[in-house]
Amino acid sequence: YNNSYDYYTSRLSGWSFVPPERQAVFSDDTWGRTVVVSFAAPPGARKQQDTQRYLSRQAKGMYDKVYVYAQGVIGDSMVCSDAEFPAATDEWRDALRERFESVSPRLRALRGGEVDTLLRAPCHAVTRESISLEYSKCMTDFVFFTFSTRSRAERFCELLDAAAKDANLHDALPSPWR
C-alpha cells in the first residue's frame, strides 16, 4: 500500500503492484558475470501462494480504489480525510483538476505545485491481468551465480553443458545450455 505522507501533505494513496521505477538488480558488469539457472518450482511454492492471495484480494475489491487529498482542494480538510475514486479510471484526475480550478487564486498559488505533482503521478490499477502477468513465472525458481570474471562464468557454462551431455540431460536443460 503506497501512502507515505503526513496528514497535511497532498497525497495520492492506493495499492501499487510494482515500484514506480524499475530497480536495477545488478550493474551491466555484474550481469556480464552472472549465470541464471531456472528450475521448476514445487507445487504450492511461495510465489504460487502469493498469486492466489493477490487474486483473492483483487476479486474482493481490495485494489479497486485510490484516495486523493490536497488540503483545501480535495478531500475533507476538517479531518484530513481523502476523497475516494475508482483506481481503474482517471476520474480522480478529472475531479482534482475541476476542484483546483474552483479554488481561490491564493490557494492555487499555494497548492499548485502539489496538485501538478499529483496529476503527473502514475496510477495503475491492480487488475487480475496485472497479477497474472506479474506471477506468470510462478512455476519457475531462479538461481543466480555471479562469478569474479566473465571468463569464469563462461567456463562454468561449458562445464555444466559437458556434464549434462555426459548424463544425457542436455535436452532437459534450459537455454543457454541447449
- 143-172 burial, b for 16+ CB within 10 Å, e for fewer? eeeebeeeeebeeeeeebeeebeeeeeeee
Comparing 147 with 169, the larger pLDDT belongs to 147
Grid cell, residue 107, equals 490557494
Identify the CA nearest to 12 among candidates 101, 105, 87: 87
The C-alpha cell 551491466 sits at 28
pLDDT at 112 > cutoff 70: yes
25-34, 39-48, 73-82: segment of lowest average pLDDT: 73-82
Three-state DSSP at 67 gives strand
Binned at pLDDT 50, 70 and 90, residue 151 comes out as very high
Q: Rounded to whole angstroms, how far apart are CA atoms 126 and 21?
A: 16
